[in-house]
Amino acid sequence: MELRDYLKIIRKRIALLVLVTLLAGIFSFGWAYYKKPVSSASFSITLTKESEQTQKAADFYQYDSFYNLQAASLFVNNIKGWLRSPAVVAEIYQKSGLEPVSRDNASLVRFFRLNHEPASAVLEVSFQERDNEAAQKLTKATQDVLAEKVASPFQLDFIEENISANKPNLTNNT
């Protein structure tokens, strides 16, 4: 078959092609228009380890608390492990008073998106939830559960809490 044959077939079926294209566009527009907005929540966790003694009280050089910074950076890996544990995520949901969308372990493990630069003691946590109120409850419950789990020499600071509703973009979805 040559190009002329293909063009002849397309001309013959042009009405069907236009109809299918229009129906697909109308369907995708309706889906995007009636889709409920999803709330995105994110916050950062800064972990610090308090020095047990000051440089003046120590009879050795403490390298500007280098080992405290290194310990805090390594402890962030523990927090990442907790937030990837289905038991801890279920505990967070229980503390917030909400029901998880799915109870299987695979979805609970993937609930939080975690971003951690290797040599820092800052962990960025983000997730998506049905509405702003649920996102606020889950953010508060996550912070409470992590504050309970962190031991004494470490201190957690929660910064940059951001919760926003994201409506689907009609032009991109149609």
Q: Is residue 162 part of a domain?
A: yes
Looking at the fold, whether 28 and 44 belong to one and the same domain comes out as no
Decide: 99 and 93 in contact? Cβ < 8 Å. yes
**Other C-beta atoms within 10 Å of 47: how many?**
23
Looking at the fold, whether 59 and 97 belong to one and the same domain comes out as yes
Looking at the fold, whether 51 and 22 belong to one and the same domain comes out as no
pTM of the full structure:
0.71
Q: How far apart are CA 98 and CA 100, in angstroms?
A: 6
Which uninterrupted H or E stretch holds 28? helix 14-34
* Pick from 120, 139, 129: nearest CA to 72: 120
Q: What is the pLDDT of residue 35?
A: 82
Q: Is residue 127 part of a domain?
A: yes
Q: Is residue 138 part of a domain?
A: yes
Per-residue pLDDT in tens (0 to 9) along the chain, 174 residues: 888 889 898 899 999 999 999 999 899 888 888 888 888 999 998 888 776 655 555 555 555 567 777 888 888 888 999 999 998 999 999 999 988 877 778 888 888 999 988 888 889 999 998 888 888 999 999 999 998 888 777 888 888 788 888 877 767 666
Looking at the fold, whether 56 and 122 belong to one and the same domain comes out as yes
> What range defines the domain where residue 55 resides?
37-167
Looking at the fold, whether 16 and 82 belong to one and the same domain comes out as no
Looking at the fold, whether 20 and 80 belong to one and the same domain comes out as no
Q: What is the pLDDT of residue 160?
A: 77
CATH of the domain at 47: 3.30.70
Looking at the fold, whether 128 and 142 belong to one and the same domain comes out as yes
Q: How many domains does the chain have?
A: 2
Q: Is residue 174 part of a domain?
A: no
Q: Is residue 71 part of a domain?
A: yes
Looking at the fold, whether 75 and 44 belong to one and the same domain comes out as yes
3-state secondary structure of 125: strand
User: Quick one: tokens of 158?
Assistant: 């929660």
